[in-house]
């Protein structure tokens, strides 16, 4: 059943075995899994069907320090959450991401890699991203290696992997009908959760309080409560709900700390060898769009004391007409039609605003642009499984190199509350994000490993000014939609906010689902692992309810 909050409010509290706050990838996956396991669920969604923008986004407004984008970027108050916006990239974490590494302070997950990895096949099914195969030789029909000596899983300097792409799947549209017809799941839309209420003895959570669409306050009582509100909003609620101001789960001053994103930038260029596969999207054997990437082997990371990182061939800066591409110039001229988050991604360098040069590219390349337009219409606009984005090289056949890099989890990279309040009376969030010199140095050393790996390739060379590299890397920005670590998982309250099952320390019936519990970020986009962790949590909740 799905109903707006003003239709279900009343004088009595709502009840369920499990109450989930948040209807993004984590919350919807968790609700679907619990339904399959026979558990009665109440799912609270702050938005509703479709994203309206404007005033509906007001609770997400806040402040941020440094290069971090506004806290509301890449977040959506809508049924489906940020999956109404995401690009669909599905990448698993690596075993080394779970290790305690002496050169990465704060590293080490308190659970084994296999506890999450065994749920990746089901998570890929939820995301509509095919089977759990990321070796290009096995996943891509007739695949030739992008680079000679780039082993899929060996200990070469560079390891070649693929990343799979979802439809992209809007979880609200994809699973709304299923949840709407369910007799075990009730979805209450336009329900803004404003407080988590302790029991009288303080040892458990008694209820969640939400504000309905008509302004009335309503409570939900349940045996188990799960916060699946995203990496920023979950922290805000845990801070704001505690009357003492200490913050729930904040026994060791970890709440909101160790906040990470992923560092990304586009630095250097490479021209692929003539015999290499075209650096474009390919279809896997099961029909999913995929892209190749290069990673550094785990042994190389340990030896060189490197954070995890992935390199991809990328499109040039769309704003620089020197790329000579009619397609990219057309994208630049039309970019105002895109949402702000994607306008920010397109321009990854200087923007001279040279509209006449872009118009000249479009006119000179009109025939190729027309052919591209027809292909784009068929492969993106009309297709159910959509081509993820445009990938075009420079006029000379070279491609810029994009990286996504892990960050060191730092205690002073933190989410706190600001002094202003939103329309619901909740304090707005303040994000103080930062990176450290180890992050910068690690990326610079990783580029040197990349150079050495490419040096053995006939006709392939990395064009990069290594003297200028450190300063360029310092100009890298955090990936705005990847909010990780603010309620980090740990084996004791002295090291984190939630335990190995995601339960808040000291409040055993309150859980957190989503990337906020990730102790380290790896290099991978978090959605696939968020989904896998939600599946894992569902099975734990079922067992705990049956005890």
| Torsion sign (Cα): 195, 200, 206, 209 | negative
Domain borders along the chain are 2-126+169-260+410-435+480-546, 132-167+262-323+346-352+384-407+438-474
pLDDT grade, residue 91 (50/70/90)? very high
Q: What percent of the chain has pLDDT over 90?
A: 69
Integer Cα distance of 34 and 20 in angstroms: 11
Grade residue 65 by pLDDT with cuts at 50, 70 and 90. Answer: confident
Instruction: Check residues 340 and 220 and name the one with the higher pLDDT.
Output: 220
- Report pLDDT for 275: 59
Question: In the prediction, which pLDDT does 247 show?
Answer: 96
Please determine, for residue 467, whether its predicted confidence score (pLDDT) is greater than 60: yes
Quote the mean pLDDT of the chain.
90
Measured from the Cβ of residue 436, the count of other Cβ atoms closer than 10 Å reads 14
431 DSSP β-pair partners: 64, 415
**C-beta separation of 309 from 404 below 8 A:** yes
Other Cβ atoms closer than 10 A to 387: 17
The answer on pLDDT for 335 being more than 90 is: no
Between 24 and 12, residue with greater pLDDT: 24
3-state secondary structure of 81: helix
Give Cα 55 to chain centroid, integer Å: 24
Examine the pLDDT at 185 and tell me if it is beyond 60.
Answer: yes
Lowest average pLDDT, out of 138-147, 187-196, 254-263, goes to 138-147
By C-alpha distance, which of 18, 14, 16, 13 is closest to 503?
18
Tell me, what's the pLDDT at 452? 87
Write the pLDDT tens digit of every residue in 405-453. 999 999 999 999 999 999 999 999 999 999 999 999 999 999 999 998 8
| Residue in this structure with the two tokens 């991401």, named with its chain if needed | 97
CB neighbours of residue 390 within 10 Å: 17
Comparing 12-21, 184-193, 476-485, the range with the smallest average pLDDT is 476-485
Assign 103 a pLDDT band (cuts: 50, 70, 90).
Answer: very high
β-bridge mates for residue 294, sequence order = 160, 311
* 88-112 mean pLDDT: 97
The residue among 193, 265, 195 whose CA lies nearest residue 446 is: 265
Quote the pLDDT of residue 327.
Answer: 86
Is the pLDDT reported for residue 307 higher than 70? Answer: yes
Of residues 52 and 404, the one with the higher pLDDT is 404
Share of the chain above pLDDT 70, in %: 91
Residue 308 has pLDDT above 60, yes or no: yes
**Token duo for residue 87:** 């690009």
Task: Supply the DSSP string of 136-183, one letter for each residue.
Answer: HHHHSTTPPPSSTT-BSSSSSSEEEEEEEE-S---HHHHHHHHHHH-S
For the stretch 228-243, pLDDT in tens is 999 999 999 999 999 9
Mean pLDDT for 29-51 is 93
β 427-432/62-65 pair status: parallel
Mean pLDDT of 139-166: 76
Q: What is the pLDDT of residue 345?
A: 63
* pLDDT for position 145: 73
Assigned CATH topology for domain 2-126+169-260+410-435+480-546: FAD/NAD(P)-binding domain (3.50.50)
Confidence tier at 394 by pLDDT (50, 70, 90): confident
Task: Give me the mean pLDDT over the 158-167 stretch.
Answer: 94
Lowest-pLDDT choice from 157-161, 226-230, 271-275, 323-327? 271-275
E runs forming strands in 202-335: 205-211, 217-227, 263-270, 282-283, 289-296, 309-313
| Mean pLDDT within 11-26 | 93
């Amino acid at each position: 059943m799905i109903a707006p909050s003003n239709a279900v409010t009343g004088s009595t509290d709502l009840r369920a075995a499990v109450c989930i706050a948040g209807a993004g990838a984590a919350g919807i996956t968790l609700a679907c899994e619990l339904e399959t396991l026979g558990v009665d669920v109440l799912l609270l969604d702050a938005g509703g069907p479709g994203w309206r923008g404007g005033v509906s986004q007001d609770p997400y407004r806040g402040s941020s320090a440094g290069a971090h984008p506004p806290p509301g970027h890449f977040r959506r108050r809508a049924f489906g959450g940020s999956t109404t916006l995401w690009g669909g990239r599905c990448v698993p974490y690596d075993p080394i991401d779970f290790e305690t590494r002496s050169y990465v302070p704060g590293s080490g997950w308190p659970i084994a890699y296999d506890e999450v990895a065994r749920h990746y096949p089901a998570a890929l099914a939820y995301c509509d991203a095919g089977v759990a195969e990321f070796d290009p030789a096995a996943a891509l029909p007739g695949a030739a290696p992008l680079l000679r000596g780039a082993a899929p899983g060996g200990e070469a300097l560079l390891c070649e992997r693929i990343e799979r792409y979802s439809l992209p799947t809007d979880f609200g549209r994809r699973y709304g009908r299923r949840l709407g017809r369910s007799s075990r799941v009730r979805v209450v839309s336009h329900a803004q959760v404003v407080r988590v209420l302790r029991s009288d003895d303080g040892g458990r959570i008694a209820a969640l309080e939400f504000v309905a669409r008509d302004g009335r306050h309503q409570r939900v009582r349940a045996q188990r409560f799960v916060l699946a509100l995203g990496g920023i909003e979950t922290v805000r609620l845990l801070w704001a709900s505690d009357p003492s101001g200490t913050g729930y789960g904040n026994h060791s001053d970890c709440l909101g700390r160790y906040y990470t994103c992923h560092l990304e930038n586009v630095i250097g260029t490479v021209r692929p060898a003539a015999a290499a596969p075209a650096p474009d999207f390919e279809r896997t054997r099961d029909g999913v769009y995929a892209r190749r990437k290069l990673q550094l082997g785990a042994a190389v990371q340990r030896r060189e004391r490197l954070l995890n990182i992935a390199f991809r061939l990328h499109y040039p800066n769309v704003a620089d007409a020197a790329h000579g591409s009619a397609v990219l110039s057309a994208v630049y001229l039309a970019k105002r039609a895109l949402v702000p988050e994607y306008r920010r991604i397109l321009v990854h360098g200087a923007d001279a605003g040279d509209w006449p040069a872009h118009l000249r590219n479009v006119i000179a390349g009109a025939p190729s642009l027309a052919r591209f337009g027809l292909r784009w219409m068929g492969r993106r606009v009309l297709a159910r499984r959509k081509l993820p984005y445009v990938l075009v090289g420079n006029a000379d056949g070279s491609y810029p190199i994009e990286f996504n890099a892990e960050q060191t989890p730092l205690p002073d990279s933190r989410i706190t509350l600001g002094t202003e309040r939103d329309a619901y009376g909740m304090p707005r969030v303040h994000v103080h994000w930062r990176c450290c010199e180890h992050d910068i140095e690690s990326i610079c050393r990783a580029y040197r490993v990349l150079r050495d790996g490419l040096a053995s390739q006939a006709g392939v060379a990395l064009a990069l000014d290594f003297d200028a590299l450190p300063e360029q890397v310092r100009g890298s920005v955090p990936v705005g939609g990847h909010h990780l670590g603010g309620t980090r998982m740990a084996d004791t309250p002295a090291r984190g906010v939630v335990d190995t099952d995601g339960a808040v320390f000291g409040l055993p019936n309150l859980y957190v689902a989503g990337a906020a519990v990730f102790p380290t970020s790896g290099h991978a986009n978090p959605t696939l692992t968020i989904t896998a962790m939600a599946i894992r949590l569902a099975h734990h909740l079922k067992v705990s309810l049956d005890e």
